[in-house]
Structure 1
Amino acid sequence: MTAVQTDPVVSTPYGAVRGRFEHGVAVFRGIPYAAPPFGPNRFRPPLPPDPWDGVRDAGSFGPTPPKPPYSESFAQYLSDPDVPGDDCLNLNVWTPEPGPGARLPVMVWLHGGALTRGSSGMPVYDGLPFARDGVVLVSLNYRLGVEGYGLFPDAPANPGLRDQLAALEWVHASIEAFGGDPARITLFGQSAGAISIGALLAAPQAQGLVRRAVLQSGPPEAAERDKVRRMVRRMANRLRIPATAAAFADVDRELLLRTQAEVGRLSSPVVGGPAFGIVVDGDIVPRDPLEALTDGDAACGIDLMTGWTRDEYRLWLVPGGLLERIDRLGAVALAGAMARCRVGADVPRGYRALHPEAGTAEIVGQMVTDHLLRLPLHRLADARPGSSYVYEFAWPSTLPDLGSCHALELGFVFDTGEVPESRKLAGEGAPKELADEMHRAWVRFAQEGDPGWQSWDDSHPVRVFGDGPTRTAYGPRDAELALWAAAAPVPPGESAPAPALPDGSPTRGTELRSVVRRLRLPGTVRRH
């Protein structure tokens, strides 16, 4: 007679939780790590959850933080489940061996979504393959948009980042009971999740909580405070209220979300615009995270893996036909990219010389990608030779025009390419052997601190996945990035002169100001 496997029960600092066994793995969903961030807690730092008596059921995903849906043009590629409820600061755990004593490596996942969208409940982020391979996987929700990253005179900055820190502290204190080793925690995330990791690695309050980190398509950075303030002020103007946390806390959540979506409609990585972001606050973010990680002693002894997709920009430009619109704008779009990146005409001329077959949209897209992402990640690896590993994901989606776009690697890293939500971006026929290889590298990094290829040094080794057999390329982006080293950028805070077009003719200010309007951006997609 076959024994019936009972549901797993684990004790946490706030009470016991009952999970489920699924395919031999114990899964706990929707565990609160902080109190609901509403009522008197709205726009405030997270507080511990109220303890509970008895055993709390942890069989389903918990509520997701308030967020607007993706616009129709992006929803065809990206899924974002919405679970109603106030108790949205929750996390999930997948473990092969619940109970103390196993001391398995732990991976904590921070989702992307431009700090305005996303959740831990995405099927692409299923932790079962990691637990199957001997890793305790944790994923979590955190406050988004104006609730998590609005900048107000009467409330602390970065409450969403503070949520992530609270979750990380919960994991460090509680994960041993789930079979994890609190001394072997790897923090990994993509896009806005990776940007968050950069800030957490540099945060004084997070020192000692993380052993390793993976930054996928997102560099350490701090947003300009005025850029975030403009986003809040524009929302306040539409709502006809003061730009204060007290006033925003009285606004209905749905109205706030609609207003946020309307105000953020013209924001994108390519053309900029007001957007939410992590800001220097003198506390949890005492200085720019990239500066702290490259010229200070922040996060000393932490192994790093960083990387990008070959065609990041295509997820920003293909939905809604932006690729074709930028190609039609031609020189004006190039001038807009120069203003966005604060460089002169030598940089786009250099890209043209290196890629004579490329269209304007590809030149603009790769320029902005290098400026926002590859340059800072190179700088981060340069500051930590011997303990940094760099990759490039190059497999192209089978869907038209997407190429190796932003977020495409996620189904491969999680080994969840078979779920419909992965196929929305990858199309049909994603190679399982590539997923096996990438997933194995991430697991090995969590276990050993070495994903299986040469660490960063002066030869700039980059592991290339998906462009034929997996290989190590040396300096594959060096020629493009050298163009930036030779350029004379305008320092932040100073006014950039109106750039000349790559053909030498001057631009008119009205041309640059009209680029955003002429693109007719369909929705917010700052970063996935």
Structure 2
Amino acid sequence: MIQTTEYVEVTTSAGRVRGCWRPTTGGRGNPRSAVFLGIPFAEAPVGELRFAAPVPKAPWVGVRDALEFAPTAQRGDPGVTLIPEPSVPGESTLNVNVFTPSPERAASGGGLPVLVWIHGGGYFAGSPASPWYDGRNFNRDDVVTVTISYRLGFDGFGWIDGAPTNRGVRDWLLALEWVQQNIAVFGGDPSRVTIAGQSAGGGAVLTLLGMEKAQHLFHGVYAISGALADVSAARSEAFGRRLAADAGVEPTLAGFRSVDEERLLELQKKATALDPKAMDTIVDEGLPLGPTVDGDLLPRPTRESLRAGVGAGKPLVIGATDDEFTMAMGDAAKVLRWVPTGILLGRMGVAKDRRRAYLAANADVVAKGKARLAGRVLTDRMFRTALLNVVADRGSAPTWLYRFSWASGTFGFAEHCLDVPFFFDCLDGPAMEPLAGPNPPQSLADEVHAAAVAFIRDGDPGWPQAGVSGTARVYDTTTRDVPDAYASVKPLL
């Protein structure tokens, strides 16, 4: 290790990289964090490598600056998003960012526990370059942090005749292999790696938990608002053939490689546009681009793998916010107030014989109006029933359940993405007020972040396991552990 007052260098398996020091926040623990941005773990997926499996990065000569975020798979201006996730132009989109308090190999051969973060974005958007994913305060608490990039949308997950399936999943795997090979020189312990993510990233880590071929790459999982895809092979192929027809090419490698990136993104956007008439399909089956049950990496749906015991030896924390997608119903409030409750629930896929029990279990939400009820149903069907199913599928495997219930000062409820800055303890970060409102409680961030650190360090976040007691930790103005905390969701199971 070469260190100055500002820069720090580390030698990876492919070559030497130069990062820099910054301060942590919070006034405790390690006062400094060393950051290494945009280290490539694979060759740029362009030319003959476009739509191919990722290829490990070839060694370079000299010292490579790792001082700025590298190109992202997300292209163009994403507009206003719940989490600030900027796009960075360029071809070399497969890279990692490493944050460490101790950029040197531990003398004892051990090292610090490691968090690897996979960003969300519906498997078609998102970026690891978000300031909210800065690992500095995990470093403060002796956790090395890595954020990874992966190919998105059709590039990462679309079916192409002659191309490997699940290219985005293969990117995750190669990035995790890079962590196994290199994290020790950044002060991390490759035998103590926790993978975590939110939304599609939460679905990604659940997918990896249920994948036999990934088990050697991590030791714990933290899934925030996980959205499993598990696209069927038939549905994936049908979408790929449709996109090829829209592009006027054969659904082959040569055909799709003849379509430039910008044109393909335009066609993908049109083909995946959210049609209100297709909402039932989206809720029931998810989006058509995401991890696919291909008979290879994913031989069966993730839930089947979990029921079969895959990943049973790995601890899991899983949970969601109370009103993930309620914000989507805000513009419909005036219309929904005139819709009879039974018709509303029917249109949202709640079976007739379950409606009375569901309304009784959610009386507090019903009292807030039809839009809030519709948002809660959407949240429950897309997120909260899914996580309860995962808990049940794992049986007695070590699983901890939580709810994030603190109401945003902007929205008045706990919406999608709200818990992410609490997890990273970055309430002083940019673009916080639009999501959380003014003065979000630092005390709650302290609780959420400390439990995450405890889990990453010790494999136990500090409250009773769900499979043993049915208890979940409810994060709110007053955090508490509540038996049967998801009782309001159970009428939908």
So what's the TM-score if we normalise by structure 2?
Answer: 0.89
Alpha-carbon offset, residue 270 of structure 1: 5.1
2:390 is aligned, of 380, 383, 386, to: 380
Select 2:211's aligned residue among 193, 203, 208: 203
Is the 8 Å Cα contact of residues 200 and 228 (structure 2) preserved in structure 1?
no
Equivalent position SS for 2:216 = coil
Q: Taking structure 1 as reference, are residues 76 and 221 closer, same or farther at Cα in structure 2, changes over 3 Å only?
A: closer
Which stretch shows the higher mean deviation, 265-274 or 153-162? 265-274
Unpaired runs of at least 5, structure 2: 24-31
Which residue of structure 1 aligns with residue 404 of structure 2?
393
SS of equivalent residue, structure 2 residue 293: coil
CA offset at residue 279 of structure 1?
1.0
In the TM superposition, what is the alpha-carbon distance from 1:297 to its structure 2 partner?
2.8
Taking a change above 3 Å as real, the CA distance of residues 247 and 267 of structure 1, as seen in their structure-2 partners, is farther
AA at the equivalent of 1:247: G
Contact 2:46 2:91 survives alignment (8 Å): yes
1:102-128 deviation per Cα after TM superposition (whole angstroms, max 9, x unaligned)? 600000000000001111100111111
The answer to whether 1:239 aligns with 2:244 is: no
Quick one: structure 1 residues 69 and 158, their matched pair in 2 at CA, closer, same or farther if it must change by over 3 Å?
farther
**Shift of residue 173 of structure 1?**
1.1
The offset of 1:226, in angstroms, is: 4.1
**1:11, 1:17 within 8 Å by CA — same for their partners in 2?**
yes
- Mark the CA change 1:61 to 1:291 in structure 2 (over 3 Å): closer, same or farther: same
Secondary structure of the residue aligned to 1:138 is strand
CA contact (8 A) 2:20 2:36 kept: yes
Shift of 1:290: 1.4
Contact 1:10 1:16 in 2 (8 A): yes
CA distance in 1, matches of 2:11, 2:81: 41
Q: Give 1:2-41 correspondences, 5 Å limit.
A: 5=5, 7-23=7-23, 24-41=32-49
CA deviation profile, 1:342-383 (whole Å, cap 9, x unmatched):
x52122332223324253333333333333322232232232
CA distance in 1, matches of 2:150, 2:335: 35
- Cα deviations across residues 289-348 of structure 1 (Å, max 9, x unaligned)? 11111x223113211100000111224444xx245555555555433321xxxx521223
Tell me if 1:478 matches 2:491: no
Residues 176, 217 of structure 2: 8 Å contact kept: yes
8 Å contact from structure 1 (residues 203, 284) kept in 2 = yes
Task: Please tell me the residue identity of whatever aligns with 1:20.
Answer: C
Structure 1 residue 176: Cα displacement:
0.4
Kindly report which structure 2 residues correspond to 1:395-434, keeping only aligned pairs within 5 A, or say none. 395-400=406-411, 403-434=413-444
Counterpart for residue 379 of structure 2? 369
Instruction: Tell me what 1:152 maps to.
Output: 160
- CA displacement 1:464-515 (0-9 Å, x = unmatched): 112x31100110222431x234xxxxxxxxxxxxxxxxxxxxxxxxxxxxxx
C-alpha separation in 2, matches of 1:91 and 1:146: 21
2:84 maps to which residue?
Answer: 79
- Decide which of 86, 89, 97 is 2:102's aligned counterpart: 97
Range that drifts further, 372-381 or 389-398? 372-381
Q: Does the C-alpha gap of structure 1 residues 429 and 185 become closer, same or farther in structure 2, counting only changes over 3 Å?
A: same
Alpha-carbon shift at residue 248 of structure 1 (Å): 1.8
**TM-score normalised by length of structure 1:** 0.84
Instruction: Decide whether aligned partners of structure 1 residues 244 and 369 sit closer, same or farther in structure 2, where only a CA change above 3 A counts.
Output: farther
Instruction: From the superposition, tell whether residues 36 and 363 of structure 1 become closer, same or farther in structure 2 (CA, over 3 Å).
Output: same
- Report the CA distance shift for 1:63/1:76 in structure 2 as closer, same or farther (over 3 A): closer
The answer on whether the counterparts of 2:73 and 2:93 sit within 8 Å (CA) in structure 1 is: yes
What is the letter of the counterpart of residue 22 of structure 1? R
TM-aligned CA distance change 1:377 to 1:53, over 3 Å:
same
SS in 2 for 1:189: strand
Question: 2:357 is paired with a residue of what secondary structure?
Answer: helix
Q: Deviation digits for residues 243-285 of structure 1, max 9, x if unmatched?
A: 3343222212112222222222216895444531211111111
Q: How many pairs align?
A: 470
Q: Which residue of 2 is the match for residue 507 of structure 1?
A: none
Three-state SS of the structure 1 residue aligned to 2:273 is: helix
Counterpart residue type for residue 441 of structure 1? A
Q: What is the alpha-carbon distance in structure 2 between the residues aligned to residue 18 and residue 386 of structure 1?
A: 41
Q: What is the deviation of 1:220?
A: 4.6
One-letter amino acid of the structure 2 residue matched with residue 79 of structure 1: P
- Distance across 2 between alignment mates of 1:69 and 1:384: 43
Does structure 1 conserve the Cα–Cα contact (< 8 Å) formed by 2:77 and 2:86? Answer: no
Q: Kindly tell me: are residues 302 and 476 of structure 1, through their superposed partners in 2, closer, same or farther at Cα, counting changes over 3 Å? A: same
- Among 470, 480, 488, which residue is 1:460 paired with? 470
- From 334, 347, 358, the equivalent of 1:351 is 358
Question: Alignment partner of 1:28: what SS?
Answer: strand
Is the contact between residue 74 and residue 126 of structure 2 (CA under 8 Å) also seen in structure 1?
no
Using CA pairs under 8 Å that are at least 6 residues apart, name the structure with larger relative contact order, 1 or 2: 1
Q: Per the alignment, in what secondary structure is the counterpart of residue 17 of structure 1?
A: strand
